């Protein structure tokens, strides 16, 4: 499976490919301690390539009352996200661009016929949609600080953008807290979006930005380094993954108080760790061997 997301109507969207992100080149990179106090060793990095070594076949599964499958076959591009943004509009996204491939969003109908293409910029971390048929997009530090070509504006510089279904920017993040990286995103509704901001200008390094009706309504320092998170009633469920721990732990937080309510581990029936693959609204989504699991904050609250 390539990606998991929620469509504009709240249905689960799963993108599959013959070979996930074909044509990745593996290299080793030395980890650098900024204070120079210890040797962090090496990590393995896979360089993402836009063009696969062989044409790809994609299947976008729409899970709902009437399950659908949208197919794109023989495509010479590595799509990283797939989601339904309108009744007969399906969005296939490659997370970056180059001088040859500047339009990294392809919109098709249910038959796979291309309706139009546009760009949402390079080094995309996450893309989510809502009932307004919008695409909210966060970017990595590489996109924010270097995502431009000579004839392409650096639309990634804001760290968070919102596009309509035709590629027009309808919102750009603007706040005195600069986004160094949009670590994670949660499009809760057509009126509310949250972003986990990595910002080197604050003590905790991480903040939660709340955007209401396309205006920043609140910025909260919370120190959470998380790829996915769920939200409901001033509570957040976040993944905490530390290199010194064997398993990721999940924390249910009271955002206003800045305190942990409870710590969890989510395992399958065999006691194996579940891999968190998406967070949106009040739910986190996990991938097992042959199953997709969901957990809602509401289920974790007393009486849930």
Q: Which residue has the higher pLDDT, 239 or 215?
A: 215
Helix (H, G, I), strand (E, B) or coil at 299: helix
- Listed residue (235, 230, 294) closest to 259, CA to CA: 235
pLDDT tier, 19 (very low <50, low <70, confident <90, very high otherwise): confident
Q: How far is CA 192 from CA 6, 108, 111, 222, in A?
A: 15, 27, 32, 19
What is the arrangement of strands in the sheet containing 169-172, beginning at the earlier edge strand? 124-129, 135-139, 160-163, 169-172
Q: How far apart are CA 52 and CA 22, in angstroms?
A: 5
Q: Mean pLDDT across the chain, nearest whole number?
A: 88
Q: For the domain bounded by 228-304, which CATH number is listed?
A: 2.40.10
Are residues 105 and 90 in contact, defined by beta-carbon separation less than 8 angstroms? no
Per-residue pLDDT of 61-71, as tens digits, reads: 999 888 999 99
127-136, 170-179, 270-279, range with the lowest pLDDT: 270-279
Mean pLDDT of 155-172: 96
Q: How far apart are CA 221 and CA 15, in angstroms?
A: 34
258 φ/ψ angles, rounded to the nearest 5 degrees: 70, 30
**Angle 227-143-137 (CA atoms, 0-180°, nearest 5)?**
55
- 1 pLDDT more than 50: yes
Per-residue pLDDT of 118-156, as tens digits, reads: 999 999 999 999 999 999 999 998 889 875 555 566 899
Are residues 207 and 159 in contact, defined by beta-carbon separation less than 8 angstroms? no
**114-118 and 105-108 beta bridge pairing:** antiparallel
The residues facing 259 across adjacent strands are 254
Mean pLDDT of 86-92: 97
The residues facing 182 across adjacent strands are 197
Q: How far apart are CA 279 and CA 242, in angstroms?
A: 19
Q: Residues 253-258: contacts with CB within 8 Å, 24+ apart?
A: 253/222, 253/224, 255/208, 255/220, 255/222, 258/222
Where helices occur in the chain by DSSP H, the ranges are 141-146, 297-300
The residue ranges of every structural domain in the chain are 3-20+48-225, 228-304
Are residues 235 and 242 in contact, defined by beta-carbon separation less than 8 angstroms? no
- The pair of structure tokens assigned to 29 is 């990179």
Same topology between domain 3-20+48-225 and domain 228-304: no
CATH 2.130.10.120 fits 3-20+48-225, yes or no: yes
Neighbours of 74 (CB within 10 A): 9
Per-residue pLDDT of 222-269, as tens digits, reads: 988 888 999 999 999 998 865 444 455 899 999 988 899 998 888 888
Helix (H, G, I), strand (E, B) or coil at 179: coil
């Amino acid at each position: 499976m390539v990606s998991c997301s929620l469509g504009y109507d709240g249905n689960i969207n799963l993108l599959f490919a013959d070979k996930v992100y074909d044509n990745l080149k593996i290299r080793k990179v030395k980890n650098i301690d900024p204070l120079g106090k210890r040797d962090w060793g090496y990590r393995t990095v896979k360089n993402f390539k836009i063009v696969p070594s062989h044409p790809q076949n994609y299947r976008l599964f729409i899970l709902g009352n009437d399950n659908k499958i949208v197919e794109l076959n023989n495509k010479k591009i590595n799509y990283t996200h797939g989601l339904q943004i309108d009744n007969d509009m399906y969005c296939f996204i490659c997370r970056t661009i180059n001088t040859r491939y500047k339009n990294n969003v392809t919109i098709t109908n249910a038959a796979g016929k291309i309706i139009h293409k546009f760009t949402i910029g390079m080094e995309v971390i996450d893309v989510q949609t809502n009932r307004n048929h919008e695409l909210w997009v966060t970017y990595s530090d590489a996109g924010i600080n270097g995502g431009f070509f000579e004839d392409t504006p650096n639309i990634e510089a804001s760290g968070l953008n919102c596009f309509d279904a035709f590629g027009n920017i309808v919102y750009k993040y603007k706040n005195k807290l600069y986004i160094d990286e949009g670590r994670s995103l949660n499009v809760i509704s057509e009126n509310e979006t949250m972003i986990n901001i990595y910002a080197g200008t604050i003590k905790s390094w991480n903040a939660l930005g709340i955007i209401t009706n396309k205006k920043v309504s609140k910025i909260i320092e919370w120190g959470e380094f998380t790829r996915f998170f769920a939200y409901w009633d001033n509570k957040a469920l976040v993944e905490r993954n530390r290199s010194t721990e064997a398993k990721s732990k999940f924390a249910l937080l009271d955002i206003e108080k800045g305190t942990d309510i409870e710590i969890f581990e989510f395992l399958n029936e065999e006691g194996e760790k579940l891999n968190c693959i998406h967070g949106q609204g009040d739910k986190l989504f996990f991938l097992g061997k042959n199953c997709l699991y969901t957990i809602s904050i509401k289920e974790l609250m007393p009486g849930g």
